[in-house]
Amino acid sequence: MIDDNPADQQLVKAAVRGNTLDVELSFFLRAEDALDALQAGAPAWNPSPDLVLLDINLPGKTGFAVLEVLRSTSKCEDVRVVMFTSSKRSQDVMRAESLGADGYVQKPTTLGEFFNAVIGAIRGDTGAFVAAKQSATLNHLEALPSW
């Protein structure tokens, strides 16, 4: 997981522990740290992970920049990348999809929904982009003036 919020990282750990999933977790607070570890062949990237949960709004490089690097790196081009972010902007959903993200999950605000979103991403829930697009469209429509 690449996310600058330590609380979200702790919640991901709790979600995995609470569901007794057999996964190994690695966490990075900054995009640059994750990319440096990738280039150095650090254990978090060797072998390639099955999944990267990636926040968009990171200090320094954005999650989109990380996604571009992952998709252009041969050892990571097939890694599932799910954008896991608080952004509800339709532009972000579309950009993530165009850059090759495998899913887009808006961070839920309740603990149960957060846990379910994490577990769904780990298990490969394929409805992530559909839900994000629907939500982004609804948010866009709500912003339109009423006539």
Q: Grade residue 129 by pLDDT with cuts at 50, 70 and 90.
A: low
Alpha-carbon gap, residue 19 to 56, rounded angstroms: 26
Choice between 15 and 143, residue whose per-residue pLDDT is larger: 15
11 within some domain: yes
Residue 117 sits in a domain whose CATH number is 3.40.50.2300
Q: What is the pLDDT of residues 80-111, one digit of tens each?
A: 999 999 988 889 999 999 999 998 988 888 99
Residue 1 is assigned to a structural domain of this protein = no
Would you mind telling me the total number of residues written for the chain in this entry?
Answer: 147
Domain membership of residue 124 (yes or no) is yes
Q: What are phi and psi of 2, to 5 degrees?
A: -115, 105
State if pTM tops 0.85: no
**Domain tally for the chain?**
1
134 part of a folded domain: yes
Range of the domain at 70: 6-143
* Tens digit of each residue's pLDDT (9 = 90 or more) over 26-78: 999 999 999 998 888 888 788 888 899 999 999 999 999 999 999 998 888 88
Residue 66 burial class via C-beta count within 10 angstroms: exposed 0-12, middle 13-18, buried 19 and up? buried
